[in-house]
Amino acid sequence: MTNNIIALIGNPNSGKTSLFNTLTKQNQRTANWPGMTVEKKSGFMTIDNKKFEIIDLPGCYSLNNNLQIDEKITTDFLLTSPPNLIINVINTCQLHKHLYLTIQLLETEIPMIMALSFIDQVSDPNIKLSEISKHINCPIIQISTRTKQGITQLISEIKKSPKPHTKLNHKILNKFTQPVLEQLPISLQKNWIATNLLEQNLNESNIKGIPKETITQQRTNIANAFDEEPEIIIADVRYNLIQKIISNCKANNITHKNANYTYLTDKILLHPILGLPIFLLIMYLMFVTCLVFGSSIQEPFAATCELWLVKVPLNIINSTVTTPSWLQKLLVNGIGTAVITTISFIPPLFLLFSALSILEQSGYMARAAFITDKLMSFINLPGRAFVSLLIGFGCNVPAIMSTRTLQNQQDRTLTAMMTPFMSCTARLALYVVLVQAFFKENGGIIIFSIYCIGIVAALITGFMLKKLVLKNINQNQIIELPEYIKPSIKHTITDSSRRIKRFCERTFRIMLPTCIILTILNNIKITNHYSLLEIIAIKSTIIFNPMGIEQSSWPTTIALIMGTIAKEVMVGVFHTLGAYNENLDFITIKSAAIDSIKIWHNWLYGQEKIVDVSQNLKTLFHNKESVIAFLIFSCLYLPCLSTLSALKKECSKKWGYIASFWSLLLAYSTGTLYYQWATITQHPKKTIMITALIILSFVIFLTFIKKFNKADKYDN
């Protein structure tokens, strides 16, 4: 633990996390929408053998622990553990807005450095810094994390350990703050706390010995003196100072250099009628292009990796040490399968992550909340909830965490309950493998349809909960739209690589032991033909018969069970159990080199493949209808353990149970209904009976939910 604590504080999209990454040499994810940083993160930097702890706080517009969670985190941090230094990161293109927080930070009297970021993107970078200094007595540095301009200067200012600045004095307010200030039983940050208490910005329970009567009296005095609410008067005082600073430093007309371009682009992309269809088209093209092209590389990539990472190393081991056959099977079918399965997804995922990163950097994704607001109005949720759902396409856990940016608890709960239906990248891996094996021709459309089923399920969940349980109407929402900027290739590659690394780490961590355990269990035969794992799985698979999954497809049941731990495991389970390789062929380096060339030559010229990694999966399903039913079930059923624990943390245990039960019911019903109605000609009576049973289950569940609402009125 170090005594040199530096807090990075600023508005959302001011470049805090980019500066944090630059100073600490970390690689935290950055994006230009509010809610990217929802928790404080810390890292370290060393200057001349002196260690500094840098804390990246969530973006906030003001210091107020009664408003939003982001603001609460920052305000509580300053109240309970004030840092030694604040670096206030300000977007130079929006000085007027960002200086409001700066004024509040100056009121805290904590030493501060002002970092004017995005200096490479302003229309006129010649701001008179000396004029700002006249009003704000702290070091001011212009920086750009893209061009690294001003970073050295910033580090040398940190090294100097700036002294506390001169107290910011709002003369007009003094006679009202003074009586409060005199009665405050604290010694630090008195002025700031007194002003904020008058504004009702601080939760009074956090500070002991508050002179409540004096505060009420002074609030009345302000209202009488100015004929206006105290909050508005105090804000006026701050904005008058801001206006003076901006006029003096000639920053009145400073805009982003892409402001005109943004205006014209928004005319098309945010068109009231065309905006939503354009957004959906962009999303569709992104998924289909990345997946179709990525999947086409996936097969030769996986085959080459299998040659070099499994067969050749094992051949070398085998030629030097005699290994028993059970160990060889474990290495190939357990560890080998896990490794190959995981890395085979690198090409499609890298393309998808790159496309998402480009859209994020450009500023288009920040507009998603605005574009989709109309869609979300159907369930009375703000458009910002859509951003959380969108993050869910990457991973459901950060998506549920990002619901913190929503203003009330009911909206947060509702969005968190909808999020698990968004197909994360782990589920995408499963879709790609099955689609490759069964639907070569129209794989892109099938995957897109499964994604759409997830979205529809989320909307149904939202609609049901809004109608039956979370009935509160909330209209409060503010969305900020950043300027469009040219995406950087370097950032795209770094961002995509970071996400790929996380995907691989998580997958290896869970998939490796799972595949090894399953290989061992599958090889311990308790009868002549069957292992214990097979016997249990075959018996359990009866449950999935209405979905067209027969007992011989027992590895699907194991995959679904293991998928509740982490969805990444499912494909590994298929390959370990379904693609079980009885004949282990190890090859030499020379043969591997020749085969690799053949694989890529054949891929390039569209010739027959040497290895078809998905071939063995075809034995697991008897018809295409059962594959689609299984895909639907996998898309909708129980979220993974990490998602469930995030849901419990952000909402409550009760919501975790409801989410589990509801997702199982919805998944089983949808998968079964699809299969039954797709094959109705084969068993019409059975189909009608199963449909009736499913309708009955929904009626029982909805009755339970309604009763749950009456018995336990949701506390907002």
Interaction site with other proteins (CB under 8 A): 61-62, 64, 67, 93-94, 96-97, 100-101, 228-229, 231-232, 235-236, 239, 254-256, 259, 262, 266, 270, 272, 275, 369-371, 373-374, 377, 382-383, 475-483
Q: Which amino acid is at 505?
A: E
Q: What is the DSSP letter of 62?
A: S
Phi, psi of 94, deg, nearest 5: -130, 50
Asked if 408 and 471 touch (Cβ cutoff 8 Å), the reply is: no
| Minimum separation from the CB atom of position 64 to other proteins (A) | 8
Distance, in Å, from the CA atom of 646 to the CA atom of 649, rounded to the nearest integer, reads 5
CB atoms within 10 A of CB 521: 16
Distance, in Å, from the CA atom of 291 to the CA atom of 681, rounded to the nearest integer, reads 34
* Of 671, 653, 661, the residue nearest 697 (C-alpha): 661
* Pick 336 or 482: Cβ nearer other proteins: 482
| Minimum separation from the CB atom of position 438 to other proteins (A) | 40
**DSSP letter string, 146-186:** TT-TTHHHHHHHHHT-PPPPPPP--HHHHHHHHHHHHH-S-
Distance, in Å, from the CA atom of 318 to the CA atom of 473, rounded to the nearest integer, reads 68
* Pick 163 or 267: Cβ nearer other proteins: 267
CB atoms within 10 A of CB 567: 29
* Pick 96 or 649: Cβ nearer other proteins: 96
**DSSP letter string, 592-620:** HHHHHHHHHHHHHTT---S--TTGGGGGT
Asked if 138 and 162 touch (Cβ cutoff 8 Å), the reply is: yes
* Pick 365 or 690: Cβ nearer other proteins: 365
| Minimum separation from the CB atom of position 136 to other proteins (A) | 18
Q: Going by C-beta distance under 8 Å and a sequence separation of 6 or more, which residues neighbour residue 387?
A: 33, 35, 365, 368, 369, 402, 405
| Minimum separation from the CB atom of position 259 to other proteins (A) | 7
CB atoms within 10 A of CB 147: 11
SS3 at position 57: coil
Handedness of CA 304, 306, 307, 308 (dihedral sign): positive
* Pick 383 or 548: Cβ nearer other proteins: 383
* Pick 121 or 396: Cβ nearer other proteins: 121
| Minimum separation from the CB atom of position 382 to other proteins (A) | 8
| Minimum separation from the CB atom of position 94 to other proteins (A) | 5
* Pick 255 or 551: Cβ nearer other proteins: 255
Distance, in Å, from the CA atom of 413 to the CA atom of 78, rounded to the nearest integer, reads 28
* Of 73, 58, 43, the residue nearest 9 (C-alpha): 58
| Minimum separation from the CB atom of position 376 to other proteins (A) | 9
Q: 90 forms bridges with which residues in the sheet?
A: 116
Handedness of CA 232, 234, 237, 239 (dihedral sign): negative
| Minimum separation from the CB atom of position 102 to other proteins (A) | 11
Distance, in Å, from the CA atom of 510 to the CA atom of 310, rounded to the nearest integer, reads 19
| Minimum separation from the CB atom of position 174 to other proteins (A) | 21
| Minimum separation from the CB atom of position 63 to other proteins (A) | 9
Distance, in Å, from the CA atom of 560 to the CA atom of 667, rounded to the nearest integer, reads 12
* Pick 272 or 606: Cβ nearer other proteins: 272
* Pick 121 or 337: Cβ nearer other proteins: 121
Phi, psi of 177, deg, nearest 5: -80, -30
* Of 292, 298, 625, the residue nearest 445 (C-alpha): 292
* Pick 232 or 316: Cβ nearer other proteins: 232
Distance, in Å, from the CA atom of 290 to the CA atom of 296, rounded to the nearest integer, reads 10
* Pick 226 or 677: Cβ nearer other proteins: 226
Radius of gyration of the chain (CA): 29
Distance, in Å, from the CA atom of 196 to the CA atom of 439, rounded to the nearest integer, reads 62
| Minimum separation from the CB atom of position 564 to other proteins (A) | 38
* Pick 110 or 381: Cβ nearer other proteins: 381
* Pick 305 or 369: Cβ nearer other proteins: 369
| Minimum separation from the CB atom of position 75 to other proteins (A) | 12
* Of 335, 332, 359, 80, the residue nearest 207 (C-alpha): 80
* Pick 172 or 565: Cβ nearer other proteins: 172
Distance, in Å, from the CA atom of 309 to the CA atom of 322, rounded to the nearest integer, reads 19
Q: Which amino acid is at 132?
A: I
| Minimum separation from the CB atom of position 479 to other proteins (A) | 4
| Minimum separation from the CB atom of position 272 to other proteins (A) | 5
| Minimum separation from the CB atom of position 13 to other proteins (A) | 11
* Pick 266 or 625: Cβ nearer other proteins: 266
Asked if 574 and 433 touch (Cβ cutoff 8 Å), the reply is: yes
